[in-house]
Amino acid sequence: MLGDSSKAQEVFHTTLREAALRAAQGELPREPFWLFRDARWRCLDATKTDLQPESLDLDEHDLAAHVASQIEELEPTQLAVWISGAPDPQRTALALFYLDEFDYQEILDLGELKLNELSRLLAQGRRQLQAWLDAKRPQQGTV
């Protein structure tokens, strides 16, 4: 989410340290995913002080039948860098979606999103990713 591994490690360690302190005091929240939500807010706070990218209208392509194989060919860091450039809440939605660890209800809860908003963010992000993939590997472009 941060696009910088040292900042990500700092947020990770701070989040775990805070969780350990809360656990020692018997103050852990009972809600599921509170740790993920806490880490997300820390990431968002950390990016507020960074240079912010200008809003761009990115090209969008219809999803190709072979998009899954295009994504599989990417190094995980390539996908992570692409996702980290998206504005939030789209960045959160895409990161949780492509982690492939959460169902849609969990993504809604973690991202504090409504269903129609999540659907719009994912659809737009996936079309933008398809355009980026087609530009990156034109020989595998849409058929």
Chain segment 71-81, per-residue pLDDT in tens: 888 888 888 88
Burial 38-62 (b: 16+ CB within 10 A, else e): bbbebbbebbeeeeeeeeeeeebbe
Question: How much is the CA Rg of the chain, to the nearest whole Å?
Answer: 17
Does some domain include residue 62? no
- The residue segments making up the domain with residue 22 are 5-48
Does some domain include residue 113? yes
CATH number of the domain where residue 101 is located? 1.10.10
Distance CA 12, CA 136 (A): 31
Over the stretch 114-129, which tens digit does the pLDDT of each residue have? 999 999 999 999 999 8
User: What confidence category does residue 4 fall into, taking pLDDT thresholds of 50, 70 and 90?
Assistant: low
Over the stretch 58-117, which tens digit does the pLDDT of each residue have? 788 888 888 888 888 888 888 888 888 888 888 889 988 988 888 999 899 888 899 999
Per the structure, how many domains does the chain have? 2
pTM, 2 dp: 0.60
Residue 49 phi, psi dihedral angles, 5° rounding = -90, -10
In 3D, which of 119, 139, 138 has the Cα closest to residue 127?
119
Give the best-scoring range by mean pLDDT among 2-6, 50-54, 103-107, 136-140. Answer: 103-107
Does some domain include residue 53? no
141: pLDDT strictly greater than 60? no
Do 123 and 93 share a structural domain? yes
Distance CA 42, CA 52 (A): 16
